[in-house]
A = this chain, B = another copy of it.
Amino acid sequence: MIRLGLAGYGYWGPNLARAVSGMKDARLEMIADMSPKALERAGLAHPGARLTTSIADMIADPNVDAVMIATPVSTHFDMSMDALRRGKHVLVEKPMAETPERARIMIAEAARRNVVLMVDHTFVYTGAVQTIARVIESGEIGDVYYYDSTRVNLGLFQRDVNVIWDLAVHDFAIMERLMKSTPVAISASAAGFLQGRPENMAHLSVYYENGAMAHLNVNWLAPVKIRQTLIGGSQKMIIYDDMQTSEKVKIYDCGADAPDAYQQMISYRSGDMRAPALSTKEALVTEAEEFIRCINAGSTPLTDGASGLRVVEMLAAASRSCSMRGFPVDLVTLKEAS
């Protein structure tokens, strides 16, 4: 029985708490939040958990085996390090840290202590992304040519992070799962239309070692909510539309072979389309199970520190490219330089 401590009961914490509360081999031991009001809500929903306003006390508590960190980004590093140094497993919100350097230190610490360090890239555990990953791994769509995502809506203007850190981070995590090559460069441009606020619109291109490309269109100032990703392969193509209530993932049998493409018109859709049934299990529950499973088995989670680091590296490179009006930033250099 793994005894879990939760740091932060604001926006996301309650979801984590709920996800782990139904598990057989884990128990929500403590909830820590600086706000007494948040703790009151936590107590009503989780009467079995001990409450504290001191996150440090919770992390230090001998009855806590693993810590889930759902606090602002700026605190991820210190809290995670505190827990890791005490030999406790950590599940930390994305992005795992503010800089690649700090993410690397966290990974090294987890390795030294031989504990699990996992990043909460929730989308990776959805039925949709799991199915797409399986389809790509099966070779059904052939080589992945591109990942092209539109993630826009009329959204909350964050005070501290821009639209890249808020929305593109989801795509980075999904790409980390789906793309079978190493990202080598990022070109990003961003614009802020409201004075004194963070950028609310950005376009990013990610170049992969094998020639594949990813492109992200993220925007907080769009009239409708769009969550649509096209994935082009040499044999088939995929549309992942997260706004659909059914048929979120469609696989089109319409790959273009070079000779045909040259000599004649490619027909609009030459083959069948198939929308596989997706698991309806809640992504957070799947993720929580992965965390507990890896703790018990001593294995590496799907969204481990290494994948979390690459997401942070992409965020850092995107920010740097933005400041240079889209000048492409080399990811490998960045890595080596740091």
Identify the A interface with B (CB < 8 A).
Answer: 44, 47, 145-146, 148, 150, 152-157, 159, 185, 187, 189, 191, 193-197, 201, 203, 205, 207, 211, 213, 215, 217, 219-225, 230, 232, 234, 237-239, 243, 245-247, 250, 252-254, 256, 258, 261-262, 265-277, 280, 325-328
Enumerate chain B residues within 8 angstroms of A232, measured Cβ to Cβ. Answer: 193, 201, 219, 221-223
CB contact under 8 A between A258 and B201, given known A191-B211, A217-B215 = no
A173–chain B nearest beta-carbon distance, Å: 21
A281–chain B nearest beta-carbon distance, Å: 12
Query: Taking each of A193, A223, A258, which has the highest tally of chain B beta carbons within 10 Å of its own beta carbon?
Result: A223
A109–chain B nearest beta-carbon distance, Å: 37
Q: Which residue of B lies closest to A219 (CB)?
A: B148
Partner of A252, one of B145, B224, B254: B224
Q: Which residue of B lies closest to A239 (CB)?
A: B223
Task: Check if B146 sits within 8 Å of A187, measured CB to CB.
Answer: no
Task: Check if B201 sits within 8 Å of A203, measured CB to CB.
Answer: no
Task: Check if A246 sits within 8 Å of B224, measured CB to CB.
Answer: yes
Query: Cα distance A203–B187 when bound, in Å?
Result: 11
CB contact under 8 A between A245 and B225, given known A272-B277, A326-B205 = yes
Number of copies: 4
Task: Check if B268 sits within 8 Å of A145, measured CB to CB.
Answer: no
Task: Check if A246 sits within 8 Å of B217, measured CB to CB.
Answer: no
Query: Cα distance A220–B189 when bound, in Å?
Result: 24
Partner of A152, one of B189, B220, B230, B273: B230
CB contact under 8 A between A254 and B215, given known A152-B230, A261-B157, A268-B246 = no
Partner of A197, one of B148, B253, B258, B271: B258
CB contact under 8 A between A325 and B328, given known A246-B268, A265-B156 = yes
Query: Cα distance A217–B195 when bound, in Å?
Result: 27
Query: Cα distance A211–B232 when bound, in Å?
Result: 33
Q: Which residue of B lies closest to A157 (CB)?
A: B261
Task: Check if A254 sits within 8 Å of B157, measured CB to CB.
Answer: no
Enumerate chain B residues within 8 angstroms of A269, measured Cβ to Cβ. Answer: 154, 223-224, 246, 277
Query: Cα distance A93–B287 when bound, in Å?
Result: 39
Query: Cα distance A152–B237 when bound, in Å?
Result: 13
Task: Check if A267 sits within 8 Å of B280, measured CB to CB.
Answer: yes
Query: Taking each of A146, A230, A327, which has the highest tally of chain B beta carbons within 10 Å of its own beta carbon?
Result: A230
Ranked 5 nearest A-B pairs via Cβ: A223-B237, A223-B252, A273-B275, A187-B326, A145-B193
Task: Check if A154 sits within 8 Å of B256, measured CB to CB.
Answer: yes
Task: Check if B262 sits within 8 Å of A159, measured CB to CB.
Answer: yes
Enumerate chain B residues within 8 angstroms of A207, measured Cβ to Cβ. Answer: 325
Task: Check if A237 sits within 8 Å of B222, measured CB to CB.
Answer: yes
Enumerate chain B residues within 8 angstroms of A326, measured Cβ to Cβ. Answer: 187, 205, 326-328
A94–chain B nearest beta-carbon distance, Å: 21
Query: Cα distance A125–B73 when bound, in Å?
Result: 41
Enumerate chain B residues within 8 angstroms of A256, measured Cβ to Cβ. Answer: 154, 157, 194, 221
Partner of A234, one of B44, B193, B196, B250: B193
Query: Cα distance A219–B252 when bound, in Å?
Result: 16
Query: Taking each of A154, A159, A217, A271, which has the highest tally of chain B beta carbons within 10 Å of its own beta carbon?
Result: A154
